[in-house]
Amino acid sequence: MHSMIARRALLAVGWIPLWLATGGCSHTDWLTTPSDEALPAPEDPAYPTEVLRVRAECMRAVERWRHSLEALDRLIEFRQAGRISRDRSRKIVGISDDSDLHRWRMEMEYERLRAQGALRRLERKVRTDFHGEFPPWWPQDDG
């Protein structure tokens, strides 16, 4: 019974990398902020709506990468706990290599930083467009 539960847990953990890969890869296409020409002029009535839409997309990307990194960190911790294999006499018979997971984590961290950079560039652009201040319609949740 105990080994059956352990197998199910390992099977469930095995789906994490697949979920992370499909979730991460499918959302990187739009990650760059639109160029100044793609956004309407600050005087255009559509400017606030478009800027807030792009801001929401950037914030979702940051959160998505943060959640993916947290899940990958849990997987790395789980794998590190089971890294050393011992035989019945407690002799070490193997050590697993998790370099792929760590490389994957670095790539995901890079994508998270890219998403944060896109958000910061958008914030700088809006501040520049409004003489160094955020306009009144800008959300005040940036603390």
Is 19 inside any structural domain?
Answer: no
Q: pLDDT tens digits, residue range 59-72?
A: 999 999 999 999 98
Residue 106: domain span: 44-135
Give the mean model confidence (pLDDT) for residues 11-27. Answer: 49
Is 36 inside any structural domain?
Answer: no
Q: pLDDT tens digits, residue range 95-108?
A: 666 677 788 889 99
Contact 69, 109 (CB under 8 A): yes
Instruction: Name the nearest CA neighbour of 76 among 20, 135, 130, 34.
Output: 20
For residues 40 and 47, what is the distance between their CA atoms, to the nearest angstrom?
Answer: 5
Is 129 inside any structural domain?
Answer: yes
Confidence of residue 91 (pLDDT cuts 50, 70, 90): confident
54-82 per-residue burial string, b: 16 or more CB within 10 A, e: under 16: bbebbbebbebbeebbebbeebeeeeeee
Beta-bridged to residue 84, according to DSSP, are 95
> 0.85 cut: is pTM over it?
no
Is 68 inside any structural domain?
Answer: yes
**How many domains are contained in the chain?**
1
